[in-house]
Amino acid sequence: MSAICFSYAEVTSISRLGFWLQFGDEELYLAFAEFPRFEHATVAQITHVICASGSRVYWPALDLDLSLEAIRSPMVREYGRANHDC
């Protein structure tokens, strides 16, 4: 059984540096420098995004699942530790 999601996810704009993701009433920016898995993805792969839950989005073509918190704070890993890979 799939989860019911009352929000929606949509990529609204793509530039050479990143893209904007609309999730419900919130618009989030994903810079390719902070999310390198998207850097060489096609427009079709980036724009095919689904709402996996009320707090997660999923890109099926890239098999990539991200929480909204990871998108809002890309320098902090999902497990709560800072990313020091500079």
How do residues 26-76 score in pLDDT, each as one tens digit? Answer: 999 999 999 999 999 999 999 999 988 889 999 999 999 999 999 999 887
Task: Provide the domain count of the chain.
Answer: 1
For residue 16, tell me if it sits in a domain: yes
Domain, as residue range, for 46: 9-72
For residue 43, tell me if it sits in a domain: yes
pLDDT of residue 85: 45
Exposure on the CB side of residue 51, measured as CA atoms within 13 A? 14
For residue 20, tell me if it sits in a domain: yes
Asked if residues 70 and 81 have their Cβ atoms less than 8 Å apart, the reply is: no
